[in-house]
Amino acid sequence: MIPYSLLDLSPIPEGGTAADSLKNSRDLARHAEALGYRRFWLAEHHNMAGIASAATAVLIGHIADATSTIRVGSGGIMLPNHAPLMVAEAFGTLATLHPGRIDLGLGRAPGTDMATARALRRNLAGTDSFPQDVMELMAYLGDLGPEAKVRAIPGVGTHVPIWMLGSSTFGAELAAHVGLPYAFASHFAPAALNQAVAVYRQTFRASEQLERPHFMLAINVFAGEDDAEGRYLMTSMQQAFANLRTGRPGPLPRPVNDLGSAIDPRVMPMVNEALACTAVGGPETVRARLAELIGTYRPDEVILTGQIHDHDKRKRSFEIAAEAMRAIPVANAAE
């Protein structure tokens, strides 16, 4: 069976509150654990009226406390927003509280607009220190000797598994150079997927953490009891993406029967291109699409996501997806 994981943005739906969303994320994590999902990841976004996972490390701890076996982590922490030492201390603490269950996925983007990035009080001088910050963070979580002047406590010696996230070849090249597992953001930015995966696999160098490339493919899933329901559930995400790209972000919209009346037709090509890596429909249609994507890209693991307005429908969607993943032969994955 191909390992499958879940990415949750803790969406705030129209008519709901952040408190509802955080409660729903905890419930969804328990549901995912029971369904055999390997990981439950949360993403860092700021100043987003439709996303409640801004304090990502805090929410990871909350989810880990509510579960017992599933790995919990970040998909990801946007490292430009943070000092590497503080990330090491936060995730070192999480790993100390929940040994063997914490993942640390790192992203290079700020995960917000530039005004909010300035409010986060990190250096915006224009120099890209991301590779150096990654190495510094890895050192803090490694086996620093007693002579080290700066140590992450907790953190040192925890060896929290680090993942590189990306939507371009930059992250692929860095992950390959350092020898880290790589997750591509194909669920919203699939344009460079083929090139990035090829670069990662062809230039990978073994490390203490990883002997061979490990690629995770991100796929949107909107699964209903039939194809019509799956397409209906997806309209919330389509509206949300269109709103974000046209400068009108907000809570996750309710689904609609007539998408053409909710989205400017001139925007739809952009939405369709961004959400191309998606399985939508009833159980059999979703299984066939997942098998197609896995057969094409041969990932070592997939991470499924899907912002659905109704929480119970979202749980059911991930249940259908888990059933589909268990039915896909391992031969479809990477060799």
For the chain, list the domains and their CATH numbers: 4-218+301-332 (3.20.20.30)
The model's pLDDT over 163-201, given as tens digits with 9 standing for 90+, comes to 999 999 999 999 999 999 999 999 999 999 999 999 999
Q: Are 105 and 76 in contact (CB under 8 A)?
A: yes
Tell me the DSSP string of 135-203. HHHHHHHS---TT-SS--TTTTT----EEEEESSHHHHHHHHHHT--EEE-TTT-GGGHHHHHHHHHHH
pLDDT band at residue 119 under the 50/70/90 scheme? confident
What H or E segment, with its residue span, contains residue 65? Answer: helix 56-66
Other C-beta atoms within 10 Å of 124: how many? 12
Number of other residues whose CB lies within 10 A of the CB of residue 60: 26
- According to the model, what pLDDT value does residue 116 have? 77
Which residue carries 């109704």 as its tokens? Answer: 310
| Distant-in-sequence, close-in-space partners of 187: CB < 8 Å, separation ≥ 6 | 7, 218, 219, 220, 275, 277, 278, 305
Q: Which amino acid is residue 106, in one-letter code? A: L
This prediction's pTM: 0.95
User: Which of 251, 210, 259 is CA-nearest to residue 234?
Assistant: 259
Residue pLDDT, tens place only, 73-103? 999 999 999 999 999 999 999 999 999 999 9
Cα of first residue to Cα of last residue in the chain, in angstroms, is: 13
pLDDT in tens, 275-298: 999 999 999 999 999 999 999 999
Torsion of Cα atoms, 244 then 315 then 318 then 302, to 10°: 60
Q: Residue 217: beta bridge partners? A: 184, 302
